[in-house]
Chains A and B, each alone.
Chain A
Amino acid sequence: MSPTNYLLLSAVLFAIGTVGVLVRRNAIVVFMCVELMLNAVNLSLVTFARLNGSLDGQVMAFFVMVVAAAEVVVGLSIIMSIFRARRTASVDDANLLKY
């Protein structure tokens, strides 16, 4: 089996996610893009696991999923409270921690 296609897809997904994080202002969308990047990494992890015939990569991918799920919980609740306080979900408006 050739990993090329899987890795290419992973790279493309990662790139899309990266660009999304960089260019989008809506916190929800940024969040989804981060998830996209995580899943791109997951894909390559699974690919290499398959390639090497070991389970390590897949275990790692599960870890990532768990962390991502936890992150979603924390992240979305932060976004919710910011939205409640400021009536906006734009990341550029939340710059209180500058300087």
Chain B
Amino acid sequence: MLALLAADQLPPVGPATGAASAAWVLVALPALGALVLFLGGTRTDRFGHVVGVATVLGSFVYGVVLFVQALALPGEERVRDLPLYEWFGSGSLSVEFGLRLDPLSLTFVLLITGVGSLIHIYSVGYMSHDEHRRKFFAMLNLFVASMLILVLGNGFLTLYLGWEGVGLASYLLIGFYVARPLAASAAKKAFLMNRVGDVGLALAIFILFQQLGTTQYTEVFARAGEMSTGTLTAVTLLLLLGACGKSGQFPLQAWLPDAMEGPTPVSALIHAATMVTAGVYLVARTHPLYDLAPTGQLAVTIVGAVTLLIGAIVGCAYDDIKKVLAYSTVSQIGYMMLAVGLGPIGYAAGLAHLLAHGFFKAGLFLGAGSVMHGMADETDMRRFGGLWRHLPITFGTFTLGYLALIGFPFLSGFYSKDAIIEASLGGSLTRGWLLGGAALLGAGLTAFYMTRLMLMTFFGAERWRELTPRRAPWDPQAESEARPQAPEAGHGTRSDQGSTPIGELDHSAPHGYHPHESPSVMTVPMILLAVGSAGAGAFLVIGERLGGWLEPAVGPVGEVSDAVIPTGLVPGIASVLMVLGAGIAYLSVGRKPVPVERPARVSWPVRAARADLYANAINEGLVARPGLWLSRALVYLDNRGVDGAVNGTAALLGGASGRARRTQTGFVRSYALTMLGGSLVLVAALLAVTLP
């Protein structure tokens, strides 16, 4: 019965024809760019950025063509499969490498290549002084190609390929400034925590294969109802683990803020707009499974709600502009997870917020990059202030992004976030209050920390006038070889005290800050993103444009039932909370002078938030240290126990032989005596045997 139900809801999967039959070009273009730039080496240094931008732009143009083609098709024919070849197979397993073109994947294609193109262009300017710019573009292209495989794959294995591919690209780009110890350990941390999630994803795939004998979307989704509810719950929870790893959701959120060690365009593209939303994509993509597993959905909503609060709370305490934005990202993705966990009523809302967030958060990060560009790579907001006069374009675009993020009426966040809050208020009384309450509280906190960021950066006294730019402590002995997890330990606090990279842009005069506006190659993408931030929400949400477009992929938009607060009131309440949050921020940092040194004596909630709500400490205490102890014990066991037993046996044999050797005294007469004794024994034995 369930099987029939599930199969009924899914539109038929047709073959990809026309322009779509060459959809692999979408992936191939950036992949080719990456290949050329990696293999070309320094020969391609001069035009590397052109190759990088051109290939991604090409993909974007082709993506638009595919989008238009799909729009022309009737709704039920928009889900198409493009099998390419058999990747690997054995026995009953056959893994197909192919692409799935449906409204969901095309939406992501447009987001990835669109925002990706803008950020590529921005990077041309941002990285212009870096001698490794070509390598940067190669890695960025690798990321775009992997991300496209992730969203376009037509089976779980293809998804997994893209899933770990973006993990690799993220690793490479976080660690782009190879000389910085913190970048290296942040990159490793990101990859490891992602791998924890990947294990969940892998196990989910194992279960699906065992249950259904296939890993392709079409068959898995069509036959999802054949699995028992318990199995479905297990699968969905494991998928959620994968989503948590990639999207920086609780309890695997600790890597995302550290990932800000990477160049700022990377933070904008990978760690804000696209890769970290892959978890949301995963839940939306596998909605036929989640729709049959209420427990799995509940877990998604809980994770989303908890994470959005964690992100918002910690974001209030940081002084590092990129880290505040990073925690804001964690929090906003929490909103999206909350939405897609709600089922049909939330998919469209969550994805609308995802797209809107892609615009305004990318814009905010690029703005932050522009500020750093003008401020000698400083990221500590306490050393900013009054910058609006010096960076007018950045200020303008940043303000639009800010207003969109906090949900200022009629900008993107207003529509997309309210849709999520409305959806979360449904269901049973406790559930509605808890989830809806968390979402509303998060909206207020968002307004607080973002207003604080705005005030500290662009308004108030020009605190940087009396300061000289700092440099990072470059100490080869900073990291102890003996303590492997040491770099992670207390990492958050260390970098928050202001890590200013050596490798990053450096064209500041030796003394004093000289804030200046960025070149137009950087400001134009920011302006475009700001426009998107302002309009995307209204465009997507009003009239359920996105919901209608996505319907073939994620099903029709459901109606909110039994909302604990009338949904009509939500925009009003959210706006009130927003004003409240912004007002408190104004009272605490806008009206008082901001000290340049971070106050040490603060209340315990601030201390806890500064320590990432002890996420790193918990990881360190529960995983890293016991793991290290275990490893040390095993090394001891291996050297002394296993190898000791082997070498001990050898030593025992050698020792015994040495003892026996001592009987060879060299005295002929003692040999003769031994011989005599031996003969006597022999004779005696002979007699004893024969006599009786």
Chains A and B directly touch (beta carbon < 8 Å): yes
* A interface residues with partner B (beta carbon < 8 Å): 18, 21-23, 25, 30, 91-92, 94-99
* Known pairs A18-B676, A22-B676; A98 contacts B666 (CB<8 A): yes
Q: Which of the 9-residue segments B73-81, B223-231, B667-675 touches chain A?
A: B667-675
Closest residue to A92 on the B side, CB-wise?
B667
Q: Which residues from B are CB-within-8-Å of A98? A: 664-667
B511 adjacent to chain A (CB < 8 Å): no
Looking at the complex, which one of A18, A23, A30, A99 makes contact with B661 (CB distance below 8 Å)?
A: A99
Q: Which residues from B are CB-within-8-Å of A18? A: 676
Looking at the complex, which one of B664, B666, B667, B669 makes contact with A21 (CB distance below 8 Å)?
A: B669
Q: Which residues from B are CB-within-8-Å of A21? A: 669, 672
Distance between A99 CB and nearest chain B CB, rounded to angstroms: 5
CB distance B676 to A96 under 8 Å?
no
CB distance B668 to A94 under 8 Å?
yes
Distance between A8 CB and nearest chain B CB, rounded to angstroms: 18
Task: Enumerate the 7 nearest inter-chain pairs by beta-carbon distance, A residue then B residue, closest first.
Answer: A98-B666, A95-B666, A91-B668, A21-B672, A99-B661, A99-B664, A98-B665
CB distance A96 to B672 under 8 Å?
no
Q: Which residues from B are CB-within-8-Å of A97? A: 664, 666
Q: Which residues from A are CB-within-8-Å of B592? A: none
Distance between B658 CB and nearest chain A CB, rounded to angstroms: 9
Q: A18-B676, A22-B669 are in contact. List 13 more A-B contacts (CB 8 A).
A: A22-B672, A22-B673, A25-B669, A91-B668, A92-B667, A92-B669, A94-B668, A95-B665, A95-B666, A95-B667, A97-B664, A98-B664, A99-B662
Distance between B360 CB and nearest chain A CB, rounded to angstroms: 87
Query: Can you name 27 A-B residue pairings with CB atoms under 8 Å?
Result: A18-B676, A21-B669, A21-B672, A22-B669, A22-B672, A22-B673, A22-B676, A23-B669, A30-B668, A91-B667, A91-B668, A92-B667, A92-B668, A92-B669, A94-B666, A94-B668, A95-B666, A95-B667, A96-B666, A97-B664, A97-B666, A98-B664, A98-B665, A98-B666, A99-B661, A99-B664, A99-B666
Using a Cβ–Cβ cut-off of 8 Å, how many residues does chain B contribute to the interface with A? Answer: 11
A91 and B666 CA atoms in complex are apart in Å by: 10
Q: Which residues from B are CB-within-8-Å of A92? A: 667-669
A22 and B674 CA atoms in complex are apart in Å by: 10
Distance between A94 CB and nearest chain B CB, rounded to angstroms: 7
Distance between A80 CB and nearest chain B CB, rounded to angstroms: 17
Q: Which residues from A are CB-within-8-Å of B664? A: 97-99
Q: Which residues from A are CB-within-8-Å of B668? A: 30, 91-92, 94
Q: Which residues from A are CB-within-8-Å of B673? A: 22
Closest residue to A94 on the B side, CB-wise?
B668
Distance between A35 CB and nearest chain B CB, rounded to angstroms: 14
A73 and B665 CA atoms in complex are apart in Å by: 27
A95 and B393 CA atoms in complex are apart in Å by: 101
A36 and B672 CA atoms in complex are apart in Å by: 15
Distance between B662 CB and nearest chain A CB, rounded to angstroms: 7
A28 and B673 CA atoms in complex are apart in Å by: 18
Q: Which residues from A are CB-within-8-Å of B662? A: 99
Closest residue to B676 on the A side, CB-wise?
A18
A91 and B672 CA atoms in complex are apart in Å by: 12
Closest residue to A19 on the B side, CB-wise?
B676
Distance between B672 CB and nearest chain A CB, rounded to angstroms: 5
A22 and B671 CA atoms in complex are apart in Å by: 9
Bits for B76-115, please: 1 = Cβ < 8 Å to A, else 0.
Answer: 0000000000000000000000000000000000000000
Q: Which residues from A are CB-within-8-Å of B669? A: 21-23, 25, 30, 91-92
Q: Which residues from B are CB-within-8-Å of A25? A: 669
Bits for B647-689, please: 1 = Cβ < 8 Å to A, else 0.
Answer: 0000000000000011011111100110010000000000000
Identify the interface centre among B664, B667, B668: most chain A CB within 10 Å of its CB. B668
Q: Which residues from B are CB-within-8-Å of A94? A: 666, 668
